[in-house]
Amino acid sequence: MLGKGGKRKFDEHEDGLEGKIVSPSDGPSKVSYTLQRQTIFNISLMKLYNHRPLTEPSLQKTVLINNMLRRIQEELKQEGSLRPGSPAASIEELCPTSTSTEARGASGGAGAGAQRPEGPQDGRADDPKLMDSLPGNFEITTSTGFLTDLTLDDILFADIDTSMYDFDPCTSASGTASKMAPVSADDLLKTLAPYSSQPVAPSQPFKMDLTELDHIMEVLVGS
């Protein structure tokens, strides 16, 4: 994967993609900025999901990637550059509204897990592992927010149309750029709504607890 002295095919694309960041406001360079941003968004998603190590992934790395995704999402939100209907529609299609009757409400579950009171940490000989199962959760709950079931499908089922999330940055020069419509945070929210019994407020978008995720995985893998 790493270039051992040889030229890497990404080089050709690099010059357009790297270099100083262009202001998003000027005309033609806005496309290049958007392209750059979309590529980085895709790479970030891939990083969170393609990587299933035997050991716990680095929390620092996960946090940095999540921050990157959040920043991009904030920008997208502010720009409001979404084509209403189409991305959300494809997502609905891929992820049928199967019920999750046994799943607890999203905000309730995650909230309780995160806010379990923690006493002072003297005498930590008693098991801190029980005290905090969140490191694993952190990776799953926050990143599933960005993931959505759509991207899980990308990885698990190759025959599903993934043109909207074309991960190959090298071919994204011109033709596929139009297909990579950025999906706004609001659309992602709509996909999560069927899976929670409580309405999910826009300000707390991605609370999905482990049980729900398990259920969703079951649905996707079992079907």
- Interaction site with other proteins (CB under 8 A): 1-5, 7-8, 10-11, 14, 17-21, 36-37, 39-40, 43, 47, 54-56, 58-61, 63-64, 66-68, 70-72, 110-111, 114-115, 120-125, 127-138, 141-142, 169, 206-207
Minimum CB–partner distance for residue 174 and other proteins (Å): 18
Residue among 56 and 92 whose Cβ is closer to other proteins: 56
Minimum CB–partner distance for residue 65 and other proteins (Å): 9
| Structural tokens at position 71 | 């920043």
Minimum CB–partner distance for residue 101 and other proteins (Å): 25
CA distance 141 to 107: 11
Specify whether the CB–CB gap between 200 and 186 falls below 8 A. Answer: no
| CA-based nearest residue to 219, from 105, 136, 101 | 101
Residue among 10 and 157 whose Cβ is closer to other proteins: 10
Minimum CB–partner distance for residue 6 and other proteins (Å): 8
**Type of residue at 112:** A
| CA-based nearest residue to 195, from 160, 219, 164, 169 | 219
